[in-house]
Amino acid sequence: VLALLCGSAAAVAVWKWLGKRQMEKKMEEARRTRDEGVKKMAKIVQQFREQIPSVQTDAILSLPLVELTGRLQEGSLSPRTVLYTYLEKALEVTQQTNCLQHFIPECEEQLRDIERRQEKGLLYGIPVSIKDHISLKGHLSTCGLVQCLGTPAQDDSVLVKVLKKQGAIPFATTNVPQSLFNYDCSNPIFGKTVNPFNQQKSPGGSSGGEGALIAGGGSILGIGSDIGGSIRLPSSFCGLCGLKPTAQRLRCTHSIFLNVDICSHPTPVPGALGPMARDVDSLALCMKALLCQEMFQLDPTVPPIPFNQEVYSSSAPLRVGYYDTDDYFPLPPCMRRAVQETRLALQAAGHQLVPFSPPRIHYVMNELFLKTFFADGGRAWLDVFTGDIVDPSLKPQVNCCKIPRLGKKLLALLLKPLDCLGIPPPSWSCKNVAAISICRSVKEMWDHHHQIEVYRTEFITRWRELQLDAVLCPVLGPAFTTGYPGKLLTAISSTMLYNVLNFPAGVVPVSTVTEADEEELKLYRGCCDDPWDHMLKQAVTGAVGLPVAVQCVALPWQEELCLRLMKEVETLSQEK
């Protein structure tokens, strides 16, 4: 019996070792493939530089997207020159930030294709970077998971097809946090991406690779996705403009994550694809290019609503609601300052600003948000880590989900006094732990979906009562020190609210962190001066000079109005 037990234990140990070794080999192969792609692109760029040594690289990289498209359309710049200029810069940026997963060698084939075309699309010759999980034919969509390393996409996603139809050239895929469920940017396969302005800081997530690449100057236009702030948080952390549209406005994409479409999986809080760029006009041009007949034909589930240029270009005064805190997770002083300064600037420009208070944010976060994503106690999410290595930044959430249902209830009861006394629990707060064990029946799930619809109706009613065109509000920032986002999941209330509501929302940088902000941060007490407030304070300390942004929001299907307010905010902040 003893020999049998020892033999069984040895067999289990060997089996585990073999499984781990197989994972390591897969990760090594993925990294080797990436490195070979980088070397290939570097060689191609070098050949181009030798052929045309007089290229004005800095002049090309400094052109805004709208001006660059004009130069390409008129022929004063060639798509070839622009592509290789951005490839060279992207190589430089990824060496500093580790933002790229793969270069796309087919970009040269796309280049040759558009050079032969008679008709030039709205994005003719524009190099575009793509977030990892968006399908590109023949390439991996990993979501940072080892199990996804052996299955290349069989076809381009609808969005990529439309980009190519409009003359864009997808040239690189960018890094993401493992499983996409984090607003840091790290995974066991490709490692950690850092902020181009401060390598101790995170670029945000889950579109963190996009944020780092664009902010570093290595891409002029990128496509990200957002199911809790994953476009807006990297835009805030990296000083970019980013738009999360109404979820169904653009065709989303299949993802290995949960083995379903991340933007239409069975949840009442859908994700959305959207553009990220250096200015608002770039976002508007991208939306105009994507909302075309090609998109509507390829996917008839996308409402055939072309971009309304008249709304975006209007100069009529706006009636804008505003708030600088949602009273759930008070943000650092610089973020509230940004809202108040922007409010005053909008008022001085002739717009009407009206105080607005979002209803029941605690209810949204503790009930609607957590119960949506962990309706099964987190089992579906845990399944994606089967046979995988869990990234350290995700271990608090993963360990919490692994607790049995009864254990979660008992732990919630035990931790409640600690929460009240301000003593830090080991991972999430007791409310978070309790919320993970819910929705025990189909009826309970239906009731939960109904509660979200009721809340949306309540929110829209309050909006209509004030006759608002749009809302100005804060966004989480400035950039966190790496490692902190995984410890402060519920700090994303400022962005998550508009995923629950499915409203279009965008981020615009308006300022930078000052020495005065840093001094005021020392006095920050947050909501309760509790461990969570202290942790947020630690996360954002040392951010002098980093970007500070605000968030603009409109009602569903009114992306053009959201962009209109964003443009107004951008113009006023630049004038200041």
| pTM exceeding 0.85 | yes
Report yes or no: 202 and 98 within 8 Å, Cβ to Cβ. no
Residues 431 and 461 in one domain: no
Q: Please say if the pLDDT value at position 143 is more than 50.
A: yes
489 within some domain: yes
Q: How far is CA 397 from the centre of its chain?
A: 19
Residues 174 and 258 in one domain: yes
SS3 of 205, please?
coil
Task: State how far the alpha carbon of 425 is from the alpha carbons of 382, 473, 512, in Å.
Answer: 22, 30, 33
Give the count of alpha carbons within 13 A of 71, CB side only: 18
Residues 404 and 515 in one domain: no
pLDDT at 535: 92
108 within some domain: yes
Q: Output the domain CATH number for residue 570.
A: 3.90.1300.10
pLDDT at 528: 77
Residues 172 and 240 in one domain: yes
Residues 492 and 411 in one domain: no
Least confident of 293-297, 407-411, 473-477: 407-411
State the residue range of the domain holding 385: 377-438
Query: Which residues are tagged catalytic?
Result: 131, 206, 230
Tens digits of residue pLDDT in 376-403: 878 888 888 888 899 999 988 888 888 8
Query: Which amino acid, residue 24?
Result: E
Residues 257 and 272 in one domain: yes
Question: Of the candidates 239, 232, 200, which has an alpha carbon nearest to the alpha carbon of residue 216?
Answer: 239
Which residues fall within 8 angstroms of residue 382, CB to CB, at 6 or more apart? 398, 401, 402
Tens digits of residue pLDDT in 511-529: 999 999 999 999 998 877 7
- Per-residue burial over 355-381, b if 16 or more Cβ lie within 10 Å, else e, is ebebeebeebbbbbbbbbbbbbbbebb
Report yes or no: 40 and 105 within 8 Å, Cβ to Cβ. yes
Binding residues for substrate: 180, 206, 227-230
Q: How many domains, the chain?
A: 3
Q: Where are the beta strands (DSSP E) in 228-342?
A: 241-244, 272-277, 319-322
Among residues 307, 337, 363, which one ends one of the domains? 307
Return d(Cα 569, Cα 576) in angstroms, integer: 11
3 within some domain: no
Identity of the highest mean pLDDT range in 162-171, 243-252, 488-497 = 162-171
Task: Give the bridge partners for 261, in sequence order.
Answer: 254
Binding residues: 180, 206, 227-230
Residues 358 and 383 in one domain: no
Q: Where are the beta strands (DSSP E) in 189-261?
A: 191-192, 221-226, 241-244
Q: Please say if the pLDDT value at position 427 is more than 50.
A: no
Tens digits of residue pLDDT in 73-131: 999 999 999 999 999 999 999 999 999 999 999 999 999 999 999 999 999 999 999 99
